[in-house]
Amino acid sequence: MLNAFANIFKIPELRRRVFFTLGLLAIYRIGFVIPLIGVDQSALKQAAEKASEGGSGFGRILDYASIFSGGSLQQSTIFGLGIMPYITASIIFQLLGTVWKPLQELKKDGTSGQTKLNEYTRYACVALCFMQGMMWLGYLRQSNLVQSGFQSGGNLVVFYAAGIAGLTAGSLFLMWLGEQIDKYGIGNGISLILTCGILARMPQAVGWVFSNFDASINAEAGKLSPIGLILLLGGFIFVVAGAIIITVAQRRIPIQQAKHTRGRRVYGGQRQYLPLRLNHAGVMPIVFASSLMIFPSSLFAWLQTRAIQDNSADWWQTTASFLAINFQSGKFPYIFAEIVMIFFFSYFWTTVQFSPEDMSKQLKQSGSFIPGYRPGPRTADYLETVMERITYVGAGFLSAIAVIPTVVSASMGIPQFVSQFLGGTGLLIVVSVGLDLIQRIEANLLMRNYSGFLAQGANDSKAPRIKSRTG
- Tens of pLDDT along 395-448? 998 888 888 887 887 777 787 777 777 767 778 888 888 888 888 888 888 887
**Confidence band for 231, pLDDT divided at 50, 70 and 90:** confident
Residue 144: what pLDDT? 83
pLDDT of 462 strictly over 80: no
Cα 283 from Cα 49, distance rounded (Å): 27
Mean pLDDT: which of 116-125, 226-235, 329-338, 436-445 is highest? 116-125
Residues of the chain with CATH 1.10.3370.10: 1-200, 224-422
pLDDT of 471 strictly over 60: no
Cα 149 from Cα 168, distance rounded (Å): 23
Residue 416: what pLDDT? 74
Cα 90 from Cα 104, distance rounded (Å): 15
Which among 431, 16, 6, 430 has a CA at the least distance from the CA of 186?
16
**Confidence band for 321, pLDDT divided at 50, 70 and 90:** confident
Comparing 263 with 165, which gets the higher pLDDT? 165
Residue 48: what pLDDT? 67
Q: For residue 277, which phi and psi values (nearest 5 degrees)?
A: -65, 140
Residue 172: what pLDDT? 92
**Confidence band for 268, pLDDT divided at 50, 70 and 90:** low
Residue 209: what pLDDT? 84
Cα 292 from Cα 235, distance rounded (Å): 27
pLDDT, the chain, mean: 80
pLDDT of 189 strictly over 70: yes
pLDDT of 49 strictly over 70: no
Which among 40, 70, 44 has a CA at the least distance from the CA of 59?
44
pLDDT of 463 strictly over 60: no
**Confidence band for 469, pLDDT divided at 50, 70 and 90:** very low
pLDDT of 36 strictly over 80: yes
Residue 155: what pLDDT? 85
The residue length of the chain stands at 471
Residue 459: what pLDDT? 45
Burial of 436 (0-12, 13-18, 19+ CB in 10 A): middle
Q: According to DSSP H, which parts of 9-152 are helical? A: 12-30, 41-54, 57-69, 84-99, 101-108, 111-142
Name the DSSP class of 39.
Answer: B
Residue 20: what pLDDT? 94
pLDDT of 467 strictly over 50: no
Residues in contact with 78: Cβ distance below 8 Å, sequence separation at least 6, in sequence order: 31, 34, 35, 36, 166, 167, 169, 170
CATH of domain 1-200: 1.10.3370.10
Q: For residue 262, which phi and psi values (nearest 5 degrees)?
A: -125, 110
Cα 67 from Cα 429, distance rounded (Å): 11
- Cβ atoms of residues 338 and 289 within 8 Å: yes
pLDDT of 52 strictly over 60: no
Which among 155, 150, 99, 136 has a CA at the least distance from the CA of 352?
99
Cα 200 from Cα 79, distance rounded (Å): 14
pLDDT tens, residue by residue, 86-133: 888 888 888 888 778 888 888 878 788 888 888 999 999 999 999 988
Q: For residue 455, which phi and psi values (nearest 5 degrees)?
A: -150, 160
Residues in contact with 44: Cβ distance below 8 Å, sequence separation at least 6, in sequence order: 74, 75, 76, 140, 145
Comparing 459 with 448, which gets the higher pLDDT? 448
CATH architecture of 224-422: Orthogonal Bundle (1.10)
Comparing 269 with 315, which gets the higher pLDDT? 315
Helix (H) or strand (E) holding 38: none
Cα 241 from Cα 366, distance rounded (Å): 38
Torsion of CA 121, 125, 131, 135, to 10 degrees: 140
List C-alpha distances in Å: 345 to 140, 291, 336: 33, 12, 14
Residue 1: what pLDDT? 64
List C-alpha distances in Å: 376 to 184, 248, 258, 369, 386: 43, 29, 15, 9, 16
Cα 44 from Cα 32, distance rounded (Å): 15
What is the three-class DSSP state of 369? strand
Cα 158 from Cα 163, distance rounded (Å): 8
pLDDT of 180 strictly over 90: yes
Region of poorest pLDDT, from 277-286, 312-321, 387-396, 406-415 = 406-415
The pTM assigned to this predicted structure is 0.79
